[in-house]
Structure 1
Amino acid sequence: MVLAQAEFAFNNMKNRTTGKCLSEIVYTKALRLTFDLTSLPKEVEIQEEAERLQKLHTGVINLITKTTESYKEEKNETRKEVHFQVEDFVMAHLKKNRFLIGTYGKLKDKQIGPCRILAKYEPNADKIKLPEGFNISPIFNVTDLRSYNASDGFQLS
């Protein structure tokens, strides 16, 4: 009984994207009590009801699309484009999931570099030359790469 009440309460919550509750979208009216399901109209003008339901669903789809676009714009405001060229030097950030289970420790290096970019696969994936002894994939996402800026007196051999 408690589960049914919880489900009914959940289905009657207004969604922040659509501004409507689920029962309002499915049953065309907001249900306040469980026995409201039994009092749905049975003999209505089918064409008018279908058009009204179609308008409601179109409005909900438009609201969802608009909200999704606003979320996307919000996230893209802080996103920065990073482009590396082949032969550039980068520092690679190593995450725990790159290593085999049991081989990663908290005292391991978190960054390696400078590493040379060997190839570009996509705008966001680069293959780098790893130092000897690293048994991990040499392909990194650009979020894990930072440009390497050597000091003036530093010479890379």
Structure 2
Amino acid sequence: MTSTELAPSSNAGALVTTSAAKNDSQQFLTFRIGAEEYGIDILKVQEIRSYEAPTRIAHAPPFVKGVVNLRGVIVPIVDLRLRLGCTAEYTSFTVVVVLNVCGRVVGIVVDSVSDVLEMAPGTIKEPPEISASIDTRFVTGLGKVNERMLILLDIEGMVGSPDFGLID
């Protein structure tokens, strides 16, 4: 299993696509689920690992794929694609993003990781007001990068929410 560790204070090597950090800028790890591109705060990311089938847990919901032993820590693996109602195909690009959120280590499965982007506050727009039938609680904003639209997620709020089912 290959792994890329990301230290919060590091530049994450070649993954960073912009120059020196600015005080008011924020860095996001970008990843794909289906045709959409998402971003999460890079400071929540511990490492990126290639997907390896975890040990299944009995009676877990379908989006909880199981657990892995990560250097002595038992880490639950959640397929974010299934949790968001998307289809999930496991390919050579499928990765697990290991997060430190809500005082826990959790892995989320995504289709692929794109890069780390630094975004100034002016490039991030508020999420639009949409009908109550669409859950946008965990969308913190929309970022525009050239011709790409990036959906920015509050991953800590999402993983920590009762309906996610991981943290009491």
Which bracket does the TM-score occupy, shorter chain normalised?
under 0.3
TM-score normalised to structure 2 length: 0.19
Larger RCO: 1 or 2 (CA < 8 Å, sep 6+): 2
- Find the structure with the greater CA-based Rg: 1
TM-score normalised to structure 1 length: 0.20
